[in-house]
Structure 1
Amino acid sequence: MKPSNSDTYTSVLEQCQTSDRFRIEKRLQQIAARSASGQPTSKMQADLEQTIEKSTALTQQRLDSIGVVNYPDLPVAEKKDAIKDSISENQVVVIAGETGSGKTTQLPKICLELGLGAKGLIGHTQPRRLAARTVANRIADELNTTIGDKVGYQVRFTDQVSQGSLIKLMTDGILLAETQHDRYLSKYEVIIIDEAHE
């Protein structure tokens, strides 16, 4: 694929990793400025094309790794189609339900089934370290994977997240700390704030 202008580049931006988009957009602006002033841009365009190809290839690889998502018999799973519609149509969704209804373990899987997690992590916060580890283990079991593969967790002093992880459980403190060096949280495609009332 060899996009010939910035409009074409922009059209493929949505297929890139969320962590690459800012850099690609900045590069597009630089190319447009140089082109407008009559300066050569072929080297910059070639570099940009390579970045886009790598980013979109990684998105496809992550999408292919999602696999089939199965659900246990829980109230949230019965409402998954309505939840999927809400997530697809809205930037922010608030989900409330009874304790034990499956919100914590099933929402990340519903996001996966929508194809989310391919362009960036599904971040999922828990107020306590033990909860982050326990929920990560439970979701990994339900997805027939191991910790550090599709599902990982990060708590103070422990990081079990890999390049192939699609879902990252963490404490609220870890997410807050990440805003200090990445205020837009650009490595995440979705963020689930669990136990928000706390």
Structure 2
Amino acid sequence: MNSPTYKSLESRIDSCMIADRFGLWRDLKKKKERLRVTRAIEKSEEHVARRKATRPVVSYPENLPISKSVETILQKLLTNQVVIIAGETGSGKTTQLPKICLDAGLGLFGTIGHTQPRRVAARTIAYRLAEELKVNLGNEVGYQMRFQDVTQPITLIKVMTDGVLLAETQNDRFLERYDTLIIDEAHERSLNIDFLLGYIKRILPKRPDLKVVITSATIDVERFSRHFNG
């Protein structure tokens, strides 16, 4: 059997997990043992395939105001790197936005990360999402907070405190384990949220594949838009 060519391996890297791509590019360019690189690509492609196979069917409660805007939000996600959403309390944005991201084809090559300022909220939202998507908590939907990580490698949506995401920047400089980040309750302007917003803005040019959703009940859309466009 002929060994895979450089170009054939290069073309497959974009079908791998985002977190694996840099290392695969580096090994391929350094002309490391081609068989080893091929196996690493196959392993990452299999991981993506498992995630696609476990992707749940998405539906939206008709009684929630945000359900009427699903198509509009989905199109904004597909055509913009950063989407800013203002929605009143009770509109359903917190529980439905991660599902809209799934509908947009996100969460397959990286996790959909969904931050909350408080631990109780993170856990409650994860339970609700798992219930609505009809999956077991800790599998396709999970949550993480300090000293508690209820996720697996196949987790598509991870709800976490903003402090957890902040801590992850220490070891995952470009947050490559994620293909989407939803920063909820952004109006609270805590030190964690302020730092995250600044950090995310700085890495966006290096992460053109990263989608970012900023949302809150009382968000100043113009001000946040200037932050990311300025």
- Structure 2 length as normaliser, TM-score? 0.77
Q: Is the 8 A contact 2:139 2:155 kept in 1?
A: yes
Following superposition of structure 1 onto structure 2, how do residues 44-59 of structure 1 map, counting pairs within 5 Å?
A: 44-59=33-48
Deviations 1:10-48 (A, max 9, x none): 3222210011011011112212xxxxxxxxx6xx11111
What does residue 107 of structure 1 align with? 97
Following superposition of structure 1 onto structure 2, how do residues 1-198 of structure 1 map, counting pairs within 5 Å?
A: 3-5=4-6, 7-31=7-31, 44-73=33-62, 74-198=64-188
Unaligned runs of 5+ in 1: 32-40
Displacement over 3 Å in runs of 4+: none
Identity of aligned residues (%): 51
Q: Larger Rg: 1 or 2? A: 1
Q: CA deviation at 1:67?
A: 2.7
2:10 counterpart letter in structure 1: T
What does residue 38 of structure 1 align with? none
Q: Give the paired residue count.
A: 186
1:117 counterpart letter in structure 2: G
Q: CA deviation at 1:63?
A: 1.1
Unaligned runs of 5+ in 2: 189-230
Assess, with a 3 A threshold, how the Cα gap between structure 1 residues 145 and 183 changes in structure 2: closer, same or farther. same
2:167 counterpart letter in structure 1: A
Tell me, in whole angstroms, the C-alpha distance in 2 between the residues paired with 1:8 and 1:95: 40
Root-mean-square deviation over aligned CA pairs = 1.5
Q: Is the 8 A contact 2:50 2:154 kept in 1?
A: no
- Structure 1 length as normaliser, TM-score? 0.89
Q: Is the 8 A contact 2:66 2:96 kept in 1?
A: yes
Tell me, in whole angstroms, the C-alpha distance in 2 between the residues paired with 1:193 and 1:116: 16
Q: CA deviation at 1:95?
A: 1.2
Q: Is the 8 A contact 1:2 1:49 kept in 2?
A: no
SS in structure 1 at match of 2:143: strand
Q: Is the 8 A contact 1:148 1:160 kept in 2?
A: yes
